[in-house]
Structure 1
Amino acid sequence: MLKLKSAARRTSIAGLLAATSLVLALSGCATYDVTAPADARAEAPAAAVRAKDRALAEADDAKAPRDTAGDDVDCRKAKCVALTFDAGPSENTNRLLDILKKEKVHATFFMLGENHVEKRPAEVKRIDAEGHELANHTWSHQILTDIPPAAAEREMSRLQEAVRKITGRTPRLMRPPQGRTDQSVSDISKKLGLAQVLWSVTAKDYQTNDSALITKRVLDQTERDGIILLHDIYRGTVPAVPGILTELKKRGYTIVTVSQLLSPAKPEPGMVYRP
């Protein structure tokens, strides 16, 4: 059985695996927690809700234009979708950051350590400096459910330390390679202060460099409170981003980071977030 954080959303193991194309070797009963962004918001602590409402009210009182790329976006009311990029930074990242800056959009970057963070600290600094969310995709993309717990912990903690040394910030979010997780991975994530983030939209951009096809796949799957998975390491992905953003905005979406999508809730270490 799968223990749910929210009684409002009943997600079976079968549904979770089918939705995310996971193949898990289950032994016994999986008991890790999973919840949806909307349920996380609905169950946010009262103090967090009050703080969020106060910040929104102060922004309104100041009569300043609402910055939908900033902290005052309210996904309880807005039609939000989170934009995420895995496996970078890469030689394409600066071009992607230029596009996001022009479009006034912030994203969450689930970064790899080996050959990425370790070789491109300038891009990591820029991601952070421009207000994007730093997140963990492990050091070398090993499947965490296939390796011993100590090795899985090193995969996550090594990336945490590398990002902290570069930016002074420690990621709070982690995406397990291939979306494969279990109770052991959840326990390690909790120990390291990491919430796990899966997805609802994938362009499968690792299969194609056709930017038009990538765009179509994203737009066909996107719904409110979704989490879009793209990779800035593939040649066809970044050229698709302007068209994706333009059409999503036209359809009334506010494009946010994962933490903005969950707000006023805060990412809970060990929890698995999946739309």
Structure 2
Amino acid sequence: MPKQKSAARSTSIAGLLTATSLVLALSGCATYDVTAPADARADATAATDTKNGADAAQGGTANGRTGKANGAHADSSDVDCRKAKCVALTFDAGPSENTDRLLDILKKEKVHATFFMLGKNHVVKRPAEVKRIDAEGHELANHTWSHQILTDIEPAEVRRELSRVQDAIRRITGKTPTLMRPPQGRTDGEVSEISKELGLAQVLWSVTAKDYQTNDSALITKRVLEQTERDGIILLHDIYKGTVPAVPGILKELKKRGYTIVTVSQLLSPAKPEPGMVYRP
């Protein structure tokens, strides 16, 4: 992540939403907005309650629901992370030769995850895995075309890094991702603006096993379990051979501890991912 110099909360429009957006001032670049999953959910709930109250006052047919927003991603569990103890599971940089095995594990455990996929040498070379990720109810997301650090390249190249993955996934699945993860978590105001133009919210993380440093599955498991808290976002990679073997143990222990394992969009629901926004626990 870029070094944070300052942070300030901004109030919601017309006072209807809770104060959740943070504005981070970065050294040498513009600002960008950050919000936590719990704050995003609270904002969406407050907005829905206000709208329902206004509709009722006008003699409308407000139904009082404050559940999933229309179009929000959900799976068969229909989880509400305002009530459940949720944690989002994410995988970066695939698909790879390990992805099918990972999908077998997730299917057996009835867990859905968010896959932030690379374009070059991954999405374009493994369309069958991309189709399977989608068909089995996982969330398709963007991790750039070639893993360039977006804050180090020109805006036109940033746009190309992101849009090429959007196009490739859409050609394979008919769906366009709404989430992206910047390589190394490095973003700034310019990257955020381009993400907004492309309809992409940015997703960082709170848990990392640093599985790019080790193939020790037991160590990967230990690191994840030590860091995981409610509303966290777990970052793993399905390209490293030590990671997938760690997943069954991670899932078993998280369930034992009372966690419901969800996709990023489920974690945010009833909020919808806002293009350009940075989501970080």
Q: Which residue of 1 aligns with 2:147?
A: 141
- 5 Å-filtered alignment, 1:97-136, equals 97-136=103-142
Name the residue aligned to 1:227: 233
1:1-275 aligned within 5 A: 1-2=6-7, 4=9, 8=19, 13=24, 26-27=27-28, 30-44=30-44, 45-46=47-48, 53=65, 69-70=75-76, 72-275=78-281
What SS does the corresponding residue of 1:91 show, helix, strand or coil?
coil
Cα gap change, 1:10/1:112 in structure 2, threshold over 3 Å: closer, same or farther? closer
1:70: how far off?
3.0
Q: What CA deviation, in whole Å up to 9, does each residue of 1:161-188 have, x standing for no partner?
A: 0000000000000000000000000000
Q: List per-residue Cα deviations over 1:229-265 (Å, max 9, x = no partner).
A: 0000000000000000000000000000000000000
RMSD value, Cα: 2.3
Alpha-carbon distance in 1 for matches of 2:199, 2:23: 25
Is the 8 Å Cα contact of residues 208 and 236 (structure 1) preserved in structure 2? yes
Deviations 1:12-52 (A, max 9, x none): 859xxxxxxxxx7x215x32100000000000131799889
| Inter-CA distance 206–3: structure 2 relative to 1 (3 Å threshold) | same
Describe the SS at the equivalent of 2:233.
strand
Provide the secondary structure at the position in 2 that maps to 1:242. Answer: helix
- Following TM superposition, by how much is the alpha carbon of 1:215 offset from its aligned partner in structure 2, in angstroms? 0.1
Alignment partner of 1:82: what SS? strand
The whole-number CA distance in structure 2 between the counterparts of 1:2 and 1:183 is 14
Secondary structure of residue in 2 paired with 1:98: helix
Cα distance change, pair 148–205 in 1 and its aligned pair in 2 (3 A): same
Change (3 A) 1:76 1:154: same
More strand by share: 2
Q: Using the TM superposition, give the Cα deviation of residue 2 of structure 1 relative to its aligned residue in structure 2, in angstroms.
A: 4.4
Q: Secondary structure at the match of 1:241?
A: helix
Aligned length: 253
Structure 1 residue 55: deviation in Å? 6.5
When residues 52 and 238 of structure 1 are mapped into structure 2, their CA distance, relative to the original with a 3 A threshold, is farther
Q: Answer with 1 or 2: which has the greater Rg.
A: 2
Normalised TM-score (structure 1): 0.86
Alpha carbons 2:48, 2:66 under 8 Å: kept: no
Does the aligned pair in 2 maintain the 1:197–1:272 contact within 8 Å? yes
State the shift of 1:53 in Å: 3.5
